[in-house]
Amino acid sequence: MLDKKLKAVAMATKGFMPEVEGDALFVEACSACDELPRLPIVEVGTYCGRSTVWLGAAAERCKTVLFTVDHHSGSEENQKGWEWFDESLVDANTQKLNTLPTLLKTLQRAELGDAVVPIVAESRIASQQLSFEVAFCFIDGGHGELPTQLDFAGWTPKVAIGGRLAIHDVFSDARDGGQAPHDFIYRPALDSGEFVEISAVGSLRVLRRIKRNAI
């Protein structure tokens, strides 16, 4: 399990990852990195770094690195007028959402600077530039139809055989939450035959890559 000090940092950080799901994320990331040593972890959707603490700690334990990708201007649901808007994250100079300063403070408190590499970029652009395979890929970016489709297309091919694909906010019932992560990441991954589900905790689903289909 995650160190108590790091757990406290994670839980004090703004974000939407419940403790039980964060713990599951840490366990699965460690398992993947133990099986695929030296391969990195990727997180798509950093926000203020809550889940980054769990994944960064896994990277540090396994002597690898976490690349965490976010443009830090917030997803659609984080903007003013939407349910998940947080006024405290608005930059006083630009009057726009900017979560990067909060992330950097989170990493400083967690002392994970050597294990975490923040990438400030659109998910689509980052996925085009990072060409290596990963042991563990956690997708928790924009939850609209287009962002989830782009994340699926850009990041799932990078998961190595035996690696894990983790998806947050997977709801099969629309009454529980938005459908995009379920419809455009989770279901396509399973329907491809390349992944099998190995863990389900809350809204977190973890899949294991078992093969690559011929192109």
For 163, phi then psi, to 5°, come to -80, 175
User: What six digits make up the tokens of 74?
Assistant: 């917030």
Instruction: Write out the catalytic residue numbers.
Output: 143
| 177-211 b/e (C-beta count within 10 Å ≥ 16 → b) | ebbbbbbbbbebbeeeebbeeebebebbbbbbbee
Q: Are 53 and 102 in contact (CB under 8 A)?
A: no
For 67, phi then psi, to 5°, come to -100, 120
User: What six digits make up the tokens of 69?
Assistant: 């990708």
Which residue stretches of the chain are H helix?
4-12, 19-35, 50-61, 100-110, 123-129, 145-155, 180-181, 187-191
